[in-house]
Structure 1
């Protein structure tokens, strides 16, 4: 991930961070000169020479942060990934500035990525970006993160949100209603009216790449989501006996997705199959299965088109009706400059419910 120029810059920073002796004795090399020699040896692929130089530096001062970073790189280049991570971690613990933390984080990320631990490497690259002493170094750490992320079989995302909701039960905004045009107003119960509260939404999704080549990728995805509610004092007074947990909603699903690009094709095509379960109010609500397929075409360098078809079946539980749905979609997207895009699309949906069919 770190090229020759960056390595030499790292060596310069390491030399600046390390303690300097007050005076060189005779013709002996100073620690600064040893660090520069070690960095040059690493850049030239001579990890053995670099190890000898960094070991000499660490024998002189075990807390030499710059030497530890170079030592970690030399160990990594020689295939000693676990000791490289140990050296980088020690450099991190000794670091006192953002520049030192940035370099130690990069060294740790390199050791972990080289040993196949790409998820942990991404964590350390986030640290490197956070502590980068210059915008350019931060940008490079972000590029390294994306490079590792693209090659990581595992990818996980977490989401958390908290916010007020004025109608968590999808109730009426009015206190009364009329039925069949009768000239009478019927008063709605408190729980039939809109109830306000606070929503806590939690989500996690993880992807494992089963296979990948230049022409295709196949992923297995798992998603879990939960929304829980707490009623306001006003809502509890309006609907005694009703709890926020009565409206909690959860879902769990697994998806197998495949995307490919045929030789000579202007765009990719793919399909996905999903199986999932939902819960409402703590009780099983619905089983669902979904099949989808899509195709993309490049009409010009700035214009693309796409089409998709989705078939979904839902098996109701606890009195919920079964249903089926077919969705067709197509569209055209054009880049119009300034990072903006213009999209024109058409969507058609046909659905059938067992209750409606009776």
Structure 2
């Protein structure tokens, strides 16, 4: 058969030549059939030559580009493969054709170890999967490629309407320990309704990996923007913030679990609104953070996670200066017989401000629990959570030192609703519902907050 295919290839060469030649009785469909047979027989060099001759005759021959996308990576030319596949995708006219071309292009890119490019094409393929089996297979392939890729990038987006986007007080009257001092809070210190939007990107490069450990370096950036719907003089810009972090992470497998070390440095900038002058001032703090996580099984169904973290913050604002914080956390997670998961977490934060920044000195305890259903309810996945937080600020001042300091008690509940059957290019929507109420001996920190956030996150 191979000799016969070569004979036809010679005929194709004469047929495609720009000079006059004896007509060859060979149709384009016959040539495409030969290319398919060559690929099936493992004759990738022949298939690539036939595909290129077909493209010379018609640069918009979708099938020819698809043949080249399959054959070229097998000949060591993965770039030519994914470029031909991308061309075939652009020439595709139906959903099934686009799915086929996207899959072939992703495979060609993966063969050339262009894993990020392969992931993009698998996302494109997900948008045209013909059935559930094809979707499941494409998701499985995407996760396999993601594990092989030393680069890992996640994008997140949320838009959250809330009755209190600035963490303001319930009313403008200022009270301390139940007594009214005659003062009123500024507009930006009272709860403002509106929308808060966050766009985040996290990318990391895994530069070391073996059977026992892996090490990665990465960047994280989050931009927060707000739109105030209340009729106030406070501009939207006053609620702007940006977070940037450079981090190093090392994971190591132990006999009974995993230990992770983390080192990070970065900055968070925010705005300070002065109502008297209606000026919005730029403020920021820089931070250095080091932490360690330890995860280990207590039984087949019960897992414990421990976290210890230390960070130093340097504020640009006058009167704050340096703040040192310690964070400790313990989590128990239990998987039920039906694969539902229930978790409980206890965490402690100690913050130590300099002498002139006593308002940043506090201890805070948080107890929370969550329950996640393994199986969706129809098209909806669901998890719920709730908890209690108690914070004590022994050196708090409002103009003068507050007798007994500041004490806050916050109760919160929430639910995360997902739509696993709804996705676009590998991203799935979700809804995060949060309600919290905070009591304090200082009215500025008494607040009721309710928000419904719409999120978009990757399914792999």
Distance in 2 (CA, whole Å) between partners of 1:180 and 1:129 is: 58
Q: Deviations over 1:214-266 (max 9, x none)?
A: 21111112111121223335123xxxxx322122222111110000114xx12
RMSD, matched Cα:
2.8
1:34–1:257 Cα change, 3 Å: same
Match of 1:167 in 2: 164
Distance 1:249 1:337 in 2: 44
Equivalenced residues, count: 323
Alignment equivalent of 1:248, drawn from 218, 240, 243 = 240
**Deviation for aligned residue 1:121:** 1.4
- 1:288 to 2:287 alignment: yes
Aligned equivalent of 1:333: 333
- Are residue 258 (structure 1) and residue 255 (structure 2) matched? no
Q: What's the counterpart of residue 222 of structure 1?
A: 219
Find the aligned partners of 1:77 and 1:284 in 2 and give their Cα distance: 56
Matches of 2:31 and 2:194, distance apart in 1:
64
Flag the structure with higher helix content.
Answer: 1
Q: Aligned in 2, Cα 1:179/1:85: closer, same or farther, shift over 3 Å?
A: closer
Partner of 2:189: 192
Distance 1:37 1:343, change over 3 A: same
- Aligned pairs (5 A) from 1:91-240: 91-179=88-176, 181-182=178-179, 186-232=183-229, 234-236=231-233
User: What is the alpha-carbon distance in structure 1 between the residues aligned to residue 308 and residue 282 of structure 2?
Assistant: 31
Displacement of 1:143 after TM fit? 1.5
Structure 2 CA distance for aligned equivalents of residues 283 and 190 of structure 1? 18
User: Which runs of 5 or more structure 2 residues have no equivalent in the other structure?
Assistant: 1-24, 272-280, 362-394, 396-460
Q: Which has the higher contact order (CA 8 A, sep 6+)?
A: 2
Cα distance in 1 between the residues matched to 2:176 and 2:298:
54
Report what 2:345 is aligned to: 345
Q: Per-residue displacement from partner, 1:37-59 (whole Å, max 9, x unpaired)?
A: 234223xxx42343355456667
SS of equivalent to 1:235: coil
Give the equivalent residue in structure 2 for 1:5: none
Change beyond 3 A, Cα 1:152–1:232:
same
Distance 1:308 1:188 in 2: 38
Preserved contact between residue 41 and residue 49 of structure 1 (Cα < 8 Å)? no
Which moved further from structure 2: 93-102 or 340-349? 340-349
TM-score by length of 1: 0.80
Match of 1:271 in 2: 261
- 1:280 deviates by 1.2
Q: Deviations along 1:110-151, whole A, 9 cap, x unmatched?
A: 222222322111111111121122221222122221111111
Q: What corresponds to 2:304 in structure 1?
A: 305
Q: 8 Å contact 2:115–2:145 — kept in the other structure?
A: yes
Question: Is this contact kept in 2: 1:38–1:54, CA < 8 A?
Answer: no
- Residues in 1 aligned to 2:166 and 2:207: alpha-carbon distance in whole angstroms: 40
Structure 1 alignment gaps of length 5 or more: 1-24, 237-241
SS in 1 for 2:231: helix
With normalisation by structure 2, the TM-score equals 0.63
